[in-house]
């Protein structure tokens, strides 16, 4: 009985806290939607925000590009007008972030998967075209690489692409990429770097015997200047590639799609980063995109419910939707219906969702 009474008290306290939070938001009177997060999702969210502002009586939402990690940090700091209503993410929320949110009163988080994106390695349109394997990418960018015998790691000695693979150009390795706060960075090291790392049999076996050591080898990028953290501004990376035809850049497919007059994508494992190749799952460096919303803010922040429905509508994310024109790879129709239903029902993540 004591446990049951305790549970009732905890539940009642949570309900009261949610009501008070909603009341505080309403009293403070913020009259626009506030969105932060992923630079990859930013252009999609901006398009939806602009259309929503033009087509409804509500103000155009404010959208800021802070990176996935930075956005989730801001999002999880609390409930109320001082905190974002939505955060965009180019990776799924981590369990540690769910826990941080919960500890700060952000108890009901609505996860909205919006579609898919490919992470491209691009260079200037007039530069030499190359084709990379996942092993090439790992050997070019890892901090430590296999030495001469199994179990041996050495500091990365490769200075040019030809050092990595004799079939690649004799050009100094210089790759402009996102910082650690970026979901694109997280996905790149997991899909591309780890994908190449696993081609080394003894490192692949390490995953079972020592997961931490395996991750340290596969996910740690070199810091000797071959990889340059270029910030969250993908447009700036495109500009730098135009200025330096020997450099490569890492960003989402949508930026490649919008800048085909300036840059071109590199084939990975013989597959070019095209809309169809990503949609079909053939391109090996692709990932889902998300945004997260606070249920406590719905129907309190003006227009938030409508914005969620607009983003999850067929006219936005459908096969012929306006977001596909901007480079978003749509989910299959059945999956879109399932996610849209969850959005309409404001179905939150469970406490142990990821």
| Percentage of the chain modeled with pLDDT above 90 | 77
* Residue-level pLDDT at 20: 43
pLDDT of residue 217: 96
What pLDDT does residue 348 have? 94
Reported as a single tens digit per residue, the pLDDT across 132-170 is 999 999 999 999 999 988 889 999 999 999 999 999 999
| pLDDT over threshold 50, residue 341 | yes
Is the model's pLDDT at 115 over the cut of 90? Answer: yes
Residue scoring higher pLDDT (106 or 22): 106
Kindly state the average pLDDT of the residues 62-83. 96
Inter-residue contact 187 to 90 (CB < 8 Å): yes
Domain 118-287 CATH (choose: 3.40.720.10, 3.40.190.10, 2.40.160.10, 2.40.240.10): 3.40.190.10
Average pLDDT taken over every residue of the chain: 90
Neighbouring C-beta atoms of residue 305, cutoff 10 Å? 17
Domain ranges of the chain: 2-116+288-344, 118-287
Instruction: Give the tens place of pLDDT for each residue, 308-323.
Output: 999 999 999 999 999 9
**Cross-strand partners of 288:** 116
* pLDDT band at residue 28 under the 50/70/90 scheme: low
Q: Say yes or no to pLDDT of 26 above 80.
A: no
Looking at the DSSP bridge assignments, the partners of residue 131 are 267
Buried b (16+ CB within 10 A) or exposed e, 40-50: bbbbbbbbbbe
Q: How many residues does the chain have?
A: 354
What would the mean pLDDT of 14-40 be, rounded to a whole number? 67
The per-residue pLDDT for 354 is 53
Which CATH number, 3.30.470.20, 3.40.190.10, 3.90.190.10, 3.30.230.70, labels domain 2-116+288-344? 3.40.190.10
Half-sphere exposure of 8 toward its Cβ, with a 13 Å CA cutoff? 5
pLDDT given for residue 280 in this prediction: 86
pLDDT of 24 over the 60 cut: no
């Amino acid at each position: 009985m004591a446990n049951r009474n305790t549970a009732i008290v905890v539940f009642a306290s949570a309900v009261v806290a949610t009501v008070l939070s909603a009341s505080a938001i309403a009293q403070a009177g913020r009259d626009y939607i506030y969105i932060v997060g992923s630079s990859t999702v930013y252009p999609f969210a901006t398009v939806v925000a602009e259309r929503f502002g033009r087509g409804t009586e509500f103000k155009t939402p404010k959208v800021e590009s802070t990176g996935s990690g930075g956005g989730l940090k801001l999002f999880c700091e609390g409930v109320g007008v001082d905190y974002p209503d939505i955060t965009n993410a180019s990776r799924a929320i981590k369990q540690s972030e769910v826990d941080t949110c919960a500890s700060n009163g952000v108890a009901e988080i609505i996860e909205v998967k919006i579609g898919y994106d490919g992470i491209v390695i691009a260079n200037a349109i007039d530069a030499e075209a190359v084709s990379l394997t996942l092993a090439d990418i790992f050997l070019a960018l890892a901090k430590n690489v296999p030495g001469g015998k199994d179990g041996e790691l050495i500091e990365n000695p490769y200075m040019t692409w030809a050092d990595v693979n004799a079939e690649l150009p004799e050009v100094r390795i210089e790759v402009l990429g996102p910082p650690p706060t970026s979901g694109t960075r997280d996905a790149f090291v997991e899909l591309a770097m780890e994908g190449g790392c696993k081609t080394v049999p003894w490192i692949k076996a390490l995953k079972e015997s020592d997961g931490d050591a395996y991750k340290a080898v596969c996910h740690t990028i070199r810091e000797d200047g071959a990889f340059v953290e270029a910030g969250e501004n993908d447009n700036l990376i495109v500009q730098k590639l135009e200025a330096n035809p020997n450099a490569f850049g890492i960003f989402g497919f949508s930026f490649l799609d919008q800048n085909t007059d300036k840059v071109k994508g590199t084939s990975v494992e013989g597959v070019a980063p095209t809309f169809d190749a990503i949609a079909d799952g053939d391109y090996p460096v692709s990932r889902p995109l998300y945004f997260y919303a606070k249920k406590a803010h719905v129907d309190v922040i003006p227009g938030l419910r409508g914005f969620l429905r607009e983003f999850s509508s067929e006219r936005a994310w459908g096969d012929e939707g306006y977001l596909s024109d901007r480079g978003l790879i749509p989910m299959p129709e059945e999956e879109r219906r399932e996610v849209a239903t969850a959005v309409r029902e404001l179905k939150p993540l469970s406490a142990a969702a990821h």
